[in-house]
Amino acid sequence: MSSTPDTTQSFVVKKSLMGYSRFMVPVDNRKPITLDILHKLLNTLPLVCSLPYEVNLFSAVFTTAFFGYFRMGELVQNSCRELGHAIQVQDVRITSANSVQILLKHSKTDQMGMGVIINLFSTSRDICPVKSLKSYIGVRPCVPGSFFCHAGGAPVTRYQVSSVFSMLITKLGLQTRDYKTHSFRIGAATEAWFQGKDIDQIAEAGRWKSKCLYRYIRA
């Protein structure tokens, strides 16, 4: 009002505030989904999903999210009408008896939409992403659109995955405030670290391009 210069808009002040904000990283209290917890989640699914197809479906979603380091928004639709970056049926291909290939067209770290191919391989464990995906593909209805869909062809949404996940966490006696669907990605990085993989291998597998990867590895 008195024509005094606005000092908050000066170059030095704006850059100083930007630098300071980088030190104010919010604390992420989400806990990782370990292989043991993942195993329990899959075993508990029949208590939450009454239909065998739904058990198959969410088993595939959870194992794919863990072993592929996926964000849930990269696997399923944001809502029934909002596609988001959900993988499509043509993006998934069985490449051999022991591997499945997924084309991720967009991601948080791929704003230009260059795309990346993610290969999932069979494991020597009871939990296997390839086995789970093959089982799901064998019963999936022959409809176009999002790869993960219900028996009637309707796409799976993030809300539906979160709801099923929260019910499972509660059934296991864990706190829903500690575990979110992003815990699969956190768990994948943490598990890889404890298996002895170096940071570059984890960064490549999880498509990290910054040091924020370190915040995903939990003791």
For the chain, give the percent of residues with pLDDT over 70: 89
| Mean pLDDT, rounded, of the chain | 89
pLDDT tens per residue across span 125-170: 889 999 999 999 999 999 999 999 999 999 999 999 999 999 999 9
Q: Alpha-carbon distance 65 to 72, whole Å? A: 7
Residue percentage of the chain with pLDDT more than 90: 66
> Strand 92-96's sheet: what is its strand order?
92-96, 99-104, 116-121
Residue 23 has pLDDT above 70, yes or no: no
Flag the least confident range among 6-10, 60-64, 207-211.
6-10
- Strand 116-121 and strand 99-104: the pairing is antiparallel
How many C-beta neighbours within 10 Å does residue 11 have? 7
Query: How would you classify the pairing of strands 99-104 and 92-96?
Result: antiparallel
Model confidence over 75-128: pLDDT tens digits? Answer: 999 998 888 889 999 999 999 999 999 999 876 666 666 789 999 999 988 899
* Residue 193: predicted pLDDT: 92
CA atoms within 13 A on the CB side of 161: 32
What's the confidence (pLDDT) of residue 117? 93
Q: Radius of gyration of the chain from Cα atoms?
A: 20
Structure tokens at 92: 């998934």
> Region 41-52: what's the mean pLDDT?
97
pLDDT of residue 213: 78
Q: How far apart are CA 57 and CA 186, in angstroms?
A: 22
Structural contact between residues 160 and 81, judged by C-beta atoms closer than 8 angstroms: no
- 142 secondary structure, DSSP code: S
Which residue has better confidence, 1 or 143?
143
pTM of the model: 0.84
Whole-angstrom distance, CA of residue 217 vs CA of residue 92: 28
